[in-house]
DNA sequence: GAAATCAATGCAATCGATTGAAATTAAATT
DNA sequence: AATTTAATTTCAATCGATTGCATTGATTTC
């Protein structure tokens, strides 16, 4: 195994001490110009690179951010990673990615991995299964700043970055109503997720505004392609089916469109559908999907910026005031409505 | 800043030396059962976690894998990350993700970042722009094993994992011919990428097999949604347009379908289209896309396994024999043909 | 010419954990 | 009781870089 060039190698070759070499490399005023240039020259020649691990140990910092995320494969999350990485990169941080695969158990292990890797801070969007948050509290107890994004929890001393879920949902449903829908179904995310609740309540309030009765029977727990397709099939076969659908994400909305078409319904003539996310797929499906743009890239950027701010100005647990940042959402109208 | 519990804290509290504590924690036979249990008990009580950074320094290893990838947002790459993460996780490795954004310059910086972070090994799929590979050679010079996947280079001492691009392309084009296509166009990736070359040659040989003239005029450089849509529009407006398309990836194929539909062509009656990737979008577009499954998840798994094998049994540069693993591809026939 | 000043460099401790070798203690043997 | 053997534990060096505090040698000042 070839050894890396160390400061010691340079010191020995030049007959100096490691301290002098160290100082020379960082332009310490004590060092004479002659030795300074000599050191720098040799360092360049040998291809010296400071050993980050040694610095990590000394500074008790790794310039690394941990990212705990349900599933990379979702467009929304990969867009977020993109935003995170951009900011991290600009600030000379690296990103370690951990997937929970929507599993609480796996997520707990992720938090442990993040601890052993001694990351400087953590960005989290937790799993659908997660109802107990003590593993995140443990991170905070270890003085590791945590920023939640998209799927957030309010009663933990941690910052939050979310899309304006309520408003986005309101816009979506309002749009359906204005387009003439009388019976609007909502395919919702689990209600332990704040996004699930917020979007439901946006749906509810938009109905309210137009004096449409809120019917529990029209709200379904369906936030994946498979569950949504099945649910849509069931619902559309029943008497008096909905003429409008507001789905909690694009894949769910696309599944509804697929199911409707399979049953011979025309979109948007018979049924109108709105999604939430504005993924690549929304622009691909037929007809193209009206959806709420969640600006994942921006969300990732903001979350990372927030974390970096905490890393720069650490606060004690006592004086910590969580900040909540809301990213505007926007309705993108396309052929499905 | 709250200090982490160290081995020293335990040693002092129990009136022992750090060496004894260290040995007790790892069940060294020299340590008496009494002290062993005492140490372990206190360690548990204080919530001691070994400082990974200190271990990193001592072992000159970080149990971290660097991943350099063009763009996370592509389904194919996120599927690969998924596979990589699964294997890494099982083997107690963490993954650091670096995106090149298809930029050579950024990729060079990524390799530097990977070096300063002292990862144990690197997985690479390089950018479209990359024609000079000395930055990867530098990694290898630093004794960091490199495994290339999908976009690989043959003349570097590094393992490779690729899909069976040639065969997949052959299958795709053969399928188009058997479905009656006489004039088949190919939307290709840049020819500096081996995948570009292999898929083109699969296309070429399938034509050859059926005694169809290979026409340079029918091969286009178009591997993104935007460029493909524009190219398809142009081609389909010309006299004697193709009746079949083989695209180098799904987004390109979907763009062709979109363009064709905009021009009033029916799919698959007037035009047949085959993609390459088998992304989520392929099952969503209308008609559903016939495509070659690239098994990104498997590919990621294999690449990571290969790297871990190199980490377990390091070879010297002299005796290094690159291994190339080929993942089988499979034609998935759907409505577009 | 002795004392004070200053520039340049080296020493040694530190970060946290590990480990070969030495030292201490206890037990067993003669 | 003296000596060997075995069982525990500690010492000190190591990984690579940094940094407060000497130390050295040269120059200036009185």
pLDDT (tens digit per residue) in B264-284: 999 999 999 999 999 999 999
A285 vs B280: CB contact, 8 Å cut-off? Answer: no
3-state secondary structure of B79: helix
Range of lowest pLDDT (A157-171, A289-303, B39-53, B198-212)? B39-53
Taking residues A5-12, what's their average pLDDT?
94
- pLDDT attached to residue B3: 74
Q: Is the predicted pLDDT of residue B170 greater than 70, yes or no?
A: yes
Candidate from B53, B85, B281 with C-beta closest to A118: B53
Taking the CA of residue A335 and the nearest CA in chain B, the distance in Å comes to 14
- pLDDT attached to residue B291: 98
Chain B residues in contact with A78 by the CB 8 A cut-off are: 72-73, 78
Q: Is the predicted pLDDT of residue B149 greater than 70, yes or no?
A: yes
3-state secondary structure of A257: helix
Q: Which of A55, A108, A280 to mutate to test the interface with B (most CBs of B within 10 A)?
A: A280
A96 vs B99: CB contact, 8 Å cut-off? Answer: no
- Determine the Cα–Cα distance for residues A289 and A251; give it in Å rounded to an integer: 10
- Check: CB of residue A21 under 8 Å from CB of residue A11: yes
Taking residues B65-87, what's their average pLDDT?
96
- Check: CB of residue B122 under 8 Å from CB of residue B145: yes
Q: Is the predicted pLDDT of residue A216 greater than 70, yes or no?
A: yes
Q: Which two tokens stand for residue A278?
A: 């504005």
Q: Could you tell me the distance in Å between the CA of residue A37 and the C1' of nucleotide D27?
A: 24
Q: Is the predicted pLDDT of residue A290 greater than 60, yes or no?
A: yes
- pLDDT attached to residue B328: 97
Q: Which two tokens stand for residue B61?
A: 């290893």
A238 touches strand D (CB under 7 A): no
The nearest alpha carbon in chain A to B258 belongs to A284
**Nearest nucleotide from residue A36 CA, by C1' atom:** C8
Chain B residues in contact with A52 by the CB 8 A cut-off are: 116-118
Per-residue CB contacts under 7 A with strand C, chain A residues 27-56: 30-32, 34-35, 54
B32 touches strand D (CB under 7 A): yes
CA distances from B73 to A65, A225, B68, B133 (A): 20, 19, 14, 24
More reliable by pLDDT, A186 or A2: A186
Q: Could you tell me the distance in Å between the CA of residue B32 and the C1' of nucleotide D1?
A: 29
B32 touches strand C (CB under 7 A): no
Q: Is the predicted pLDDT of residue B313 greater than 90, yes or no?
A: no
Chain B contact for A61, CB < 8 A? no
Q: How confident is the model at residue A70 (pLDDT cuts 50, 70, 90)?
A: very high
A112 touches strand D (CB under 7 A): no
Q: How confident is the model at residue B2 (pLDDT cuts 50, 70, 90)?
A: low
The nearest alpha carbon in chain B to A145 belongs to B1
Taking the CA of residue A118 and the nearest CA in chain B, the distance in Å comes to 7
| ∠ Cα A229 A233 A234 (to 5°) | 120
Interface list for B 139-168 with A (CB within 8 A): 142-143
Q: Is the predicted pLDDT of residue A2 greater than 80, yes or no?
A: no
Q: How confident is the model at residue B96 (pLDDT cuts 50, 70, 90)?
A: very high
- Determine the Cα–Cα distance for residues A44 and A46; give it in Å rounded to an integer: 6
- Determine the Cα–Cα distance for residues A204 and A173; give it in Å rounded to an integer: 9
Mean pLDDT of chain A: 95
For chain B, domains (ranges, CATH) are 7-50 (1.10.260), 59-162+297-325 (3.40.50.2300), 165-293 (3.40.50.2300)
Q: Could you tell me the distance in Å between the CA of residue B118 and the C1' of nucleotide C12?
A: 28
- pLDDT attached to residue A3: 74
Chain B contact for A315, CB < 8 A? no
**Nearest nucleotide from residue B20 CA, by C1' atom:** D9
Cα dihedral sign, B175-B176-B182-B188: negative
Question: Which value, to the nearest 10 degrees, does the dihedral of the CA atoms of residues A78, A79, A84, A85 take?
Answer: 70
Q: Is the predicted pLDDT of residue B233 greater than 80, yes or no?
A: yes
B285 vs A280: CB contact, 8 Å cut-off? Answer: no
- Determine the Cα–Cα distance for residues A272 and A182; give it in Å rounded to an integer: 11
- pLDDT attached to residue B317: 78
- pLDDT attached to residue A314: 84
Q: Is the predicted pLDDT of residue B120 greater than 60, yes or no?
A: yes
Residue A122 backbone dihedrals phi, psi, to 5 degrees: -135, 135
Q: Is the predicted pLDDT of residue B1 greater than 90, yes or no?
A: no
Q: Is the predicted pLDDT of residue A332 greater than 70, yes or no?
A: yes
């Amino acid at each position: 195994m070839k050894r890396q060039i160390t400061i010691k190698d340079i010191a020995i070759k030049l007959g100096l001490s490691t301290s002098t070499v160290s100082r020379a490399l960082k332009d310490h005023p004590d060092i004479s110009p002659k030795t300074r240039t000599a050191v720098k020259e040799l360092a360049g020649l040998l291809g010296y690179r400071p050993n980050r691990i040694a610095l990590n140990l000394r500074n008790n910092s790794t310039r690394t951010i941990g990212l705990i995320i349900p599933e990379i494969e979702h467009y929304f999350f990969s867009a977020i990673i993109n935003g995170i990485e951009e900011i991290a990169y600009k600030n000379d941080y690296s990103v370690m990615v951990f997937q929970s695969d929507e599993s609480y158990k796996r997520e707990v292990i992720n938090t442990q991995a993040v601890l052993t890797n001694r990351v400087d801070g953590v960005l989290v969007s937790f799993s659908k299964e997660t109802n107990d948050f003590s593993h995140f509290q443990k991170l905070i107890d270890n003085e590791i700043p945590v920023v939640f994004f998209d799927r957030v929890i309010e009663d933990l001393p941690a910052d939050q970055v979310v899309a304006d879920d309520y408003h986005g949902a309101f816009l979506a449903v309002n749009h359906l109503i204005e387009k003439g829908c009388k019976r609007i179904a909502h395919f919702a995310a689990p209600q332990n997720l704040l996004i699930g609740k917020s979007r439901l309540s946006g749906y509810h309030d938009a109905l309210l505004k137009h004096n449409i009765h809120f019917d529990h029977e029209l709200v379904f727990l369906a936030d994946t392609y498979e569950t949504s397709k099945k649910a849509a099939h069931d619902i559309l076969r029943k008497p008096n089916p909905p003429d409008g659908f507001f789905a909690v994400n694009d894949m769910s909305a696309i599944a509804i469109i697929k199911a409707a078409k399979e049953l011979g319904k025309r979109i948007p003539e018979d049924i109108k559908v709105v999604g939430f996310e504005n993924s690549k797929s929304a622009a691909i499906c037929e007809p193209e999907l009206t959806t709420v743009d969640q600006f994942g890239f921006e969300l990732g950027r903001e979350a990372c910026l927030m974390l970096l701010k905490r890393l720069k100005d650490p606060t004690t647990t006592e004086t910590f005031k969580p900040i909540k940042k809301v990213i505007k959402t926007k309705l993108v109208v396309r052929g499905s409505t």
